[in-house]
Amino acid sequence: MQNKQTILIIDDNKENVATLLQLLNMHNLISALDGQTAIDIAHEEEDIDLILLDIMMPNIDGFEVCKVLKNIPKITHVPIIFLSSKNKQEDIQKDIQKCFDMGAVDYISKPFYPNELLSRVNTHLKLRAYEKDLELKVQAEVKKNSLKEQMIYQQSKQAALGELLMHIAHQWKQPLASLGSVNLLNKTKIETGVAITNDDILKSIGKSDDIIEFMAETIDTFKNFYEQSNENEYFFIADSVIDILSIIEATFYFDNINIYIISHEVEKTFGNINEFSQVIFSILNNARDIFKLRNIEDPEINILIENKKISIRDNAGGIEEGLLEDIFLPSLSTNGSTGIGLYISKNIVEKNSGVITASNYKNGAIFTIELSQEESE
């Protein structure tokens, strides 16, 4: 991985560009003063890590530029942070929602605070570095398998990464809006001549620090989830499920999916908790996809945990009979896509001396995982 990461700055205001170039001079920087130039650069450059994109530009505004960039294959997964000088709360809220809907990862109001901008930029550059590092690990792992296994494993990791980034984006929507509100309040006071005391400033800084700390914890969760571990240990299945829910809860809340957990677990299970968590993550995401595909009203997931056993049941209508028998094959899935996640999940469970099964239950499907009663060799 290169020492310096590359940032593309797109802003029609030369003074803003100069400020950003000075502020971010520890990185490789490329600038463009209009949307078309930025699009041309994106086609030519091979390794852009982050894009800072002004919304209000002549000819092609930031939203149109973003739309084009997201259709360039090598730019699709590059994080985009929108910059805006709008100061009306209703305009800001509309823009924030539109930015996230278009696939952006952040929104910063102008005039920005240097420390805040640096913090957000560094956060997303770290995420980009984790993503690249993950891709390298996937590439190293697939070399150990046959050509078919290589393709399956890589597709699985990429799909899971996309899901995880989506969950993180949902978790960040509210704290980003809160940060914007804090800055807008202070800005409004300054512009209207209202006195700001030291206590006011300290309270604002404290609130911003709390929000940034929450967002940093989300990054740590992301990192831990994908941190490779070959060590087995004793763990409670319920703890693994709770860790996964901390990642997906914002997305499932957004989609109005209720999750209920009942646990009768009193004994720990021996195995690889990181790999086990990825299996749970895959099954829950699979259920979410089917809920959306079938437009299920009042979607619900029930999780029952017992000693060394977990059952995950949904009310999405069940698995088609023609798919049920081969549900864990790499070419099939319950939602018509490539059932890569379930295939990898089966391999992980069997690697940990367990068994995973799928069946229909009343108005939905149920996945059951039973792990070995003995320690794995």
Tell me the DSSP string of 237-262: HHHHHHHHHHHHHHHHHHTT-EEEEE
User: Could you tell me the fold of the domain covering 233-370?
Assistant: Heat Shock Protein 90 (3.30.565)
Confidence tier at 85 by pLDDT (50, 70, 90): confident
Residue 73 has pLDDT above 80, yes or no: yes
Q: Which two tokens stand for residue 86?
A: 């709008």
Point out the least confidently predicted range of 124-138, 152-166, 193-207.
152-166
Per-residue model confidence (pLDDT) at position 352: 80
Tracing tokens 């028998």 back to the chain, one arrives at 325
**Coil/strand/helix, residue 174:** helix
Q: Return d(Cα 15, Cα 149) in angstroms, integer.
A: 52
Sequence-ordered list of residues with C-beta below 8 angstroms from that of 14, at least 6 positions apart, any chain? 33
Confidence tier at 1 by pLDDT (50, 70, 90): very low
Convert 187-196 to b/e letters by CB count within 10 Å (16 or more is b): eeeeeeeeee
Residue 208 has pLDDT above 90, yes or no: no
Question: What would the pLDDT profile of 99-136 be if each residue is shown by its tens digit?
Answer: 888 888 888 888 888 888 898 898 999 888 888 888 77
Confidence tier at 232 by pLDDT (50, 70, 90): confident
Q: Tell me the domain boundaries of the chain.
A: 6-226, 233-370
Residue 124 has, within 13 A of its CA and on its CB side, a CA count of 25
Q: What is the pTM of this model?
A: 0.48
Question: What would the pLDDT profile of 327-362 be if each residue is shown by its tens digit?
Answer: 887 654 444 443 457 877 888 888 888 999 999 988
Sequence-ordered list of residues with C-beta below 8 angstroms from that of 258, at least 6 positions apart, any chain? 298, 299, 300, 301
- Rounded mean pLDDT, 236-248: 85
The CB density around residue 199, as the number of other CB atoms within 10 Å, is 8
Residue 316 has, within 13 A of its CA and on its CB side, a CA count of 29
Convert 110-144 to b/e letters by CB count within 10 Å (16 or more is b): bebeeebbeebbebbbebbebbbebeeebeeebee
What's the mean pLDDT when you consider all of the chain?
81
Residue 56 has pLDDT above 70, yes or no: yes
Q: Which two tokens stand for residue 199?
A: 């206590």
Domain 6-226: CATH class, spelled out: alpha beta
Handedness of CA 219, 244, 375, 369 (dihedral sign): negative
Per-residue model confidence (pLDDT) at position 39: 93
Q: Higher model confidence: residue 320 or residue 322? A: 320
Q: Higher model confidence: residue 64 or residue 226? A: 64
- Rounded mean pLDDT, 80-102: 84
Residue 375 has pLDDT above 60, yes or no: no
Q: Higher model confidence: residue 214 or residue 364? A: 364
Per-residue model confidence (pLDDT) at position 373: 59
Fold equal for 6-226 and 233-370: no
The CB density around residue 246, as the number of other CB atoms within 10 Å, is 14
To the nearest whole percent, how much of the chain has pLDDT over 70?
80
Per-residue model confidence (pLDDT) at position 268: 92
Question: What would the pLDDT profile of 278-318 be if each residue is shown by its tens digit?
Answer: 888 888 888 888 998 899 999 999 999 999 999 999 999 99
Question: What would the pLDDT profile of 159-180 be if each residue is shown by its tens digit?
Answer: 556 666 666 665 666 667 667 7
Q: With CA atoms as reference, report the closest residue to 187 among 201, 199, 207, 174.
A: 201
Length of the chain: 377
Q: Higher model confidence: residue 277 or residue 301? A: 301
Pairing outcome for strands 233-235 and 300-306: unpaired
